[in-house]
Amino acid sequence: MRIIHIEDFFLSDTGYQINIIPKYQVIQGHEVYIVTSNTVGMKKPALEFFGEQNIEERDMLYQKQTGVQIIRVEPLTKKIISGRIIQNIKLFKIVEDLKPDIVYIHGNDTLTGIRFLLRINKLKYPIIMDSHMLSMASKNPFHKIFRTLYKLFITPKIINNKIQIIRTQNDSYVQTELGIPLEQAPWISVGSDTSLFYPDEQIRKIFRKENNIDNDDFVVLYTGKLDSAKGGLLLAEAFLEKFKNKKSKNIVLIVVGKTIGNYGAKVEELFSNSKNKIIRFPTQKYTDLPKFYQAADLSVFPKQCSLSFYDAQACGLPVIAEDNNINIDRLKHGNGFTFKADDVKDFRDKILKCIEMDEQDYKKMRDNAYKFVKEYYDYMNIAKQYTSILENECRKYWGNK
């Protein structure tokens, strides 16, 4: 198949679903393109975090490594309106000229996704879409108005044309908030690229030696943004006081990521006053992240939920995360713990619980984490599920032509 992925915002060296699924579809033998916007100059938080330098060189490296072709289109305006990118009308002609067998539009509720749906009867190819949205993640003050209008004008097009909206989280948001039947919204989880993320004792020893960390030290890892949404201050507060523990272990916090703005300054102040050892690293390319997980003993996510959860677990790391519905479901397999949201004491207590666990019990938890991902959330298997849906939609569309 010739598969076209449409994504408003794409950075080639991050670890999102859009970076990984196309790579595996090429391995499956398909011809794959990503058509996206030119990000340079955009006011997008992810650009501040990952950087907008050398985009072309980063794209070329990704294309060389994966075989996926990237086509960037200059958007209509660099201004982001209500979190949405306004794609140039040229996008539709570029996609049509590629003569796709099927088009996969990432984000059914993006402006781009809506524009494709509004012209559904003019399209000369089948489409599928996905949804990454959760109710807890919606911060837009106009979200109630948006959802009402979406239900009135967009959802009927999805239902009448039997368009598949793949849910990337086991959450009923698309049904309860947008009125899309779950029969048209199969759930395929995100996961981990286990060709990159896996336990490696040798890398663990090398990393620790290079960074002056003893083999007996208990290493807690945080990777990601240190902003309010991800709980940067909560993390810093949790590590302000020394972790006194029954095993007399030295506790080391490794933080991979950077702070931004006034909020970030408060995080930095707390880190600088911490009575625990903290080692800082700047934001990393996705392919450079495995060694951090391989060297650690525990991975923490102070707020919300994170795609990095699966990468941590693929490396055999138990996880501690806040007790929202997604994390509760993920951590019910003896693979980690949840703590009361925004509760610094409970967060610290759960970390201390891990530090003081019996060695064999903790090894079992590490094994559970690895098996949990390897059996159910390996992107090699997940990509097959996506491709199966794409192939089925192709058969239905082209079989009727």
211: domain CATH number is: 3.40.50.2000
**369 & 384 share domain:** no
Spatial neighbors of 148 by CB under 8 A, at least 6 apart, are none
What phi and psi values does residue 21 have, to the nearest 5 degrees?
Answer: -55, -50
Q: Judge contact between 313 and 276, C-beta under 8 A.
A: no
**141 & 240 share domain:** no
**123 & 228 share domain:** no
**Residue at 147 is within a domain:** yes
**Residue at 328 is within a domain:** yes
Starting from the edge strand earliest in sequence, which strands make up the sheet with 2-7, in order? 69-73, 31-37, 2-7, 102-106, 127-131, 165-167
**Residue at 289 is within a domain:** yes
- The whole-angstrom separation of Cα 7 and Cα 24 is 17
**Residue at 291 is within a domain:** yes
**Residue at 163 is within a domain:** yes
Give pLDDT, residue 75: 86
Give pLDDT, residue 302: 98
Q: Which residue has the tokens 């286990």?
A: 194
Distance between alpha carbon 70 and the CA centroid of its chain, in Å?
Answer: 20
**Residue at 310 is within a domain:** yes
Give pLDDT, residue 83: 72
**184 & 225 share domain:** no
**51 & 91 share domain:** yes
Neighbours of 400 (CB within 10 A): 6
Taking alpha carbons only, the member of 325, 327, 299 closest to residue 312 is: 299
**371 & 382 share domain:** no
How many structural domains is the chain composed of?
A: 2
- The whole-angstrom separation of Cα 279 and Cα 221 is 10
By residue range, what is the domain housing residue 232? 201-376
Structure tokens, 328: 């509760």
Q: Judge contact between 264 and 232, C-beta under 8 A.
A: yes
Give pLDDT, residue 136: 55
Q: Which residue has the tokens 């239900």?
A: 151
Neighbours of 341 (CB within 10 A): 18
Give pLDDT, residue 143: 76
- DSSP characters for 62-109? HHHHH--EEEEE--S-S--BTTB----THHHHHHHHT--SEEEEE-TT
Give pLDDT, residue 80: 76
**64 & 183 share domain:** yes
pLDDT tens over the chain, length 401 residues:
999 999 999 999 999 999 999 999 999 999 999 999 987 666 666 666 677 788 999 999 999 999 999 999 998 777 777 777 889 899 999 999 999 999 999 999 999 999 999 999 999 999 999 999 876 555 566 678 999 999 999 999 999 999 999 999 888 899 999 999 999 999 999 999 999 999 999 999 999 999 999 999 999 999 999 999 999 999 999 999 999 999 999 999 999 999 989 999 999 999 999 999 999 999 999 999 999 999 999 999 999 989 999 999 999 999 999 999 899 999 999 999 999 999 999 999 999 999 999 999 999 999 999 999 999 999 999 999 999 999 999 999 998 66
Burial of 38 (0-12, 13-18, 19+ CB in 10 A): middle
Pairing assessment for the beta strands 2-7 and 102-106 based on DSSP bridges: parallel
- The whole-angstrom separation of Cα 254 and Cα 191 is 23
Structure tokens, 295: 């060297």
**160 & 278 share domain:** no
Q: What is the 3-state secondary structure (H, E, C) of 282-295?
A: CCCCHHHCHHHHHH
**211 & 132 share domain:** no
**Residue at 196 is within a domain:** no
**228 & 345 share domain:** yes
178-203: buried (b, 16+ CB within 10 Å) or exposed (e) per residue?
A: bbbeeebbeebebbbbbebbbbbeeb
The pTM of this model reads 0.88
**74 & 159 share domain:** yes
**391 & 371 share domain:** no
- The whole-angstrom separation of Cα 41 and Cα 188 is 33
